[in-house]
Structure 1
Amino acid sequence: MDALFLLLPVSLLFVLGIGVAFWWAIFAGQFDDAQEAGMAIFLDDDVALPGTGSQEVDVNQN
């Protein structure tokens, strides 16, 4: 029973913190353009930078 006196306020503070973080994310515009973030991997040009030591691989070779 004594554990409830500790766990209940801690869990309520935890839920309140998550709610505040979610509220901030909504009004800060974090969810405004979710589609562009998902498509960013398809728009990457996959070109190796010069001087990095990596080689570009052509996956379309026959």
Structure 2
Amino acid sequence: MNILYLLIPIAIILAGLAIWGFFWSVNSGQYDDLESPAHSILFDDDEHLIPNDAKPERNKDQS
């Protein structure tokens, strides 16, 4: 029973920290743009990762 005198204040402190962290992240703009990070992976430039012999040759007439 005596352990409750320790656990209840610890639980209240942890809940308070979680609520503070949530409001801090909202106020600092962490949730402003939820779409761009999901789409940015599609637009990464991976040309430097492809070996030269695997790249398709471009025709000068098709540019």
Could you say which TM-score interval applies, normalised by the shorter chain?
0.7 to 0.9
Match of 2:50 among 34, 44, 56: 56
Q: Whose RCO is larger (CA < 8 A, sep 6+)?
A: 1
* 1:4-41 superposed Cα distances (whole Å, 9 cap, x missing partner): 11111001100100100100111111100010011111
Partner of 2:18: 18
Q: For residue 50 of structure 2, what is the amino acid of its counterpart?
A: E
Give every structure 1 segment of 4 or more consecutive aligned residues whose post-TM-superposition deviation is greater than 4 Å: none
- Aligned residue in 2 for 1:51: none
Aligned to 1:36: 36
For 1:16 and 1:6, locate their aligned partners in 2 and report how far apart those are by CA, in whole Å: 16
Identify the residue that residue 2 of structure 1 maps to in structure 2: 2
Please identify which structure carries the higher helix content. Answer: 2
TM-score by length of structure 1 reads 0.74
Unaligned runs of 5+ in 2: 57-63
Q: Which runs of 5+ in 1 are unaligned?
A: 49-54
RMSD (Å) for aligned C-alpha atoms: 2.0
SS at structure 2 position matched to 1:26? helix
